[in-house]
Amino acid sequence: MGRTYKQLCLEERCEIARLSAGGSSIRQIAAALDRPPSTISRELNRNSGVQVGYKPSYAQQQMRARRWTGSRLEREPGLRRAVLERLGRGWSPEQVAGRLAREHGRRVISYESIYRFIYAQLTRTSDFSWRRYLPRGKSKRGRRGKRGGSPASFIEGRVSLDQRPIEVADRKTPGHWEADLMMFSKYGQQILAVHERTSRLLLGVPLASKLASGVAHHLVRLFEVLPQPIRRTVTFDNGTEFAAHLSLQSLLIKTFFCDPHAPWQKGGIENAIGRMRRFIPRNTDLEKLPTRRLRKSIAAYNNTPRKCLDFKTPTEVFAAQVLHFECESTSRLSPGRQCAGDDSGQGVRRVEPEGRLRGGPT
């Protein structure tokens, strides 16, 4: 009679791992699975990882890898010629797979198999001309990393968020701000947005460019009209447009920066910009946006009740909790009024609660 052999299945491999971890011997495991001891011994020797030991999923992967006989494009020269000929025309793997399926009335090959075949050739032959068969011409899968490291390395005097005063985190102390740029689809259009953490008040100034010197100039103009107790710190991300942040030291404002690739650490301004997208979408052309509409959009945000403020508006909280500081500088900003960026780029003026500029066009 012929001798038959049945491969171990995943369930049996799970049982081997459990019994082996429990200290059972090879013969005990073999008896429990009704398998020859040599089968268990071979399984443990061949499919155990150096660092992870014997793991059922890893053992299953090892078994499949040994049984792999190459991709279809390696086994079928005719199919390989058909695929490469179409790739040579500039078709993407997905287009090639879809067209072949249409011509044959069934799926012939998946686009994933084509990608794997091309990248396998790059790895095995080190012939990087194979990447020209792909629409993007990439020699590796995934996103390409940015060169030069994080922009944080180009910011002089950068202080990490870890060193920011603990009192900033609970949002109970006024005078701590966050700043970012609200970007738009058209190149060169952006709004400098500044957000007060306690009241959630938002200020906005359209910018003609992202030059660090210009951004710093507008930040100084925004904050210089405020009394000293409510201009304590500002938190930025690591964009180089904030590289001239040291200019704020003239106003005794301390500046801090989020960790690289962690803009969520200044979540207040991120949330505010997201809310402003309801009024001013990303595809808005700022050159065609009326000045009055921009003012009304910022006023609408500042006069919308917020759950986090017990359904008060940022304007109300800013007036009641921030502008009550009695110091000499409050004479320039009366109680009951809010600040908004001068959309003409001339700095900051006083505005009525409805968002109308005092002394500006109506």
pLDDT band at residue 69, thresholds of 50, 70 and 90?
low
For 285-294, what is each residue's pLDDT tens digit? 999 999 899 9
pLDDT at 70: 67
For 329-346, what is each residue's pLDDT tens digit? 444 444 444 444 333 333
Q: Which residue has the higher pLDDT, 148 or 174?
A: 174
Q: Is residue 132 over pLDDT 70?
A: yes
3-state secondary structure labels for all residues of 147-186: CCCCHHHHCCCCCEHHHCCHHHCCCCCCCEEEEEEEECCC
Secondary structure (3-state) at 216 = helix
Q: What is the reported pTM?
A: 0.53
Task: Tell me what the mean pLDDT of segment 305-323 comes to.
Answer: 82
> Contacts from 51-58 at CB under 8 Å and sequence distance 24+?
54/16, 54/17, 54/20, 55/17, 56/10, 56/13, 56/14, 56/16, 56/17, 57/10
For 37-66, what is each residue's pLDDT tens digit? 999 999 898 888 777 788 888 888 888 777
pLDDT at 349: 36
Q: Rounded distance, CA 357 to CA 348, Å?
A: 9
Q: Is residue 87 over pLDDT 60?
A: yes
pLDDT band at residue 3, thresholds of 50, 70 and 90?
low
Residue among 85, 86, 88, 89 nearest 98 (CA): 86
pLDDT band at residue 134, thresholds of 50, 70 and 90?
confident
Q: Rounded distance, CA 296 to CA 294, Å?
A: 5
Q: Give the rounded percent of residues in the chain with a pLDDT score beyond 90.
A: 42
User: CB count, 10 Å around CB of 323?
Assistant: 21
Q: Is residue 220 over pLDDT 90?
A: yes
Task: Tell me what the mean pLDDT of segment 166-182 comes to.
Answer: 93
Least confident segment among 190-204, 297-311, 348-362: 348-362
pLDDT at 323: 59
Does residue 132 come out as left (phi exceeding 0), alpha (psi in the -120 to 50 range) or beta? alpha
* Fold type of domain 156-351: Nucleotidyltransferase; domain 5 (3.30.420)
Task: Tell me what the mean pLDDT of segment 289-304 comes to.
Answer: 90
Q: 252: which residues sit within 8 A by CB, 6+ positions away? A: 228, 231
